[in-house]
């Protein structure tokens, strides 16, 4: 499956990736599984997407939960929580 991955703010800074198309293994079907798969890319990815960190996810520009499914051609974004004032 091929998806478009987008990272924002500190996640982009930590990994050095803002936007890319990636091919996923068949078993990677949910947002949580994608997050785990991306952590295998190396230490910066493992730290940025650590399960203990508050990281939000979106599929096709809609907020998504860990168990939400991803499909061929989806745009998946990860970003830290946003605070404002």
Report pLDDT digits (tens) over 19-36. Answer: 999 999 999 999 999 999
Question: What's phi and psi for 43, nearest 5 deg?
Answer: -60, -40
Number of domains in the chain: 1
pLDDT digits (tens, 9 = 90+) for 1-16: 999 999 999 999 999 9
Residue 84 lies in a domain: no
CA–CA distances in Å: residue 37 to residues 30, 62, 82, 84: 10, 21, 24, 31
Q: Could you give the 3-state DSSP secondary structure of residue 73?
A: coil
Average pLDDT score over the chain: 94
Is-above-0.85 flag for pTM? yes
pLDDT recorded at residue 85: 52
- Write the CATH number for 61: 3.10.20.30
Residue 22 lies in a domain: yes
Q: For residue 8, give its domain range.
A: 2-79
Is the separation of the CB atoms in 69 and 83 below 8 Å? no
Question: What's phi and psi for 60, nearest 5 deg?
Answer: 50, 45
Residue 85 lies in a domain: no
């Amino acid at each position: 499956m091929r998806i478009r991955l987008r990272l924002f703010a500190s996640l982009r800074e930590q990994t050095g990736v803002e936007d890319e198309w990636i091919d996923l293994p068949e078993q990677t079907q949910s947002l949580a599984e994608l997050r785990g798969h991306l952590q295998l890319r190396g230490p910066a990815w493992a730290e940025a997407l650590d399960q203990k960190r508050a990281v939000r996810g979106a599929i096709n520009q809609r907020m998504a939960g860990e168990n939400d499914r991803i499909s061929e051609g989806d745009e998946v974004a990860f970003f830290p929580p946003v605070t404002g004032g």
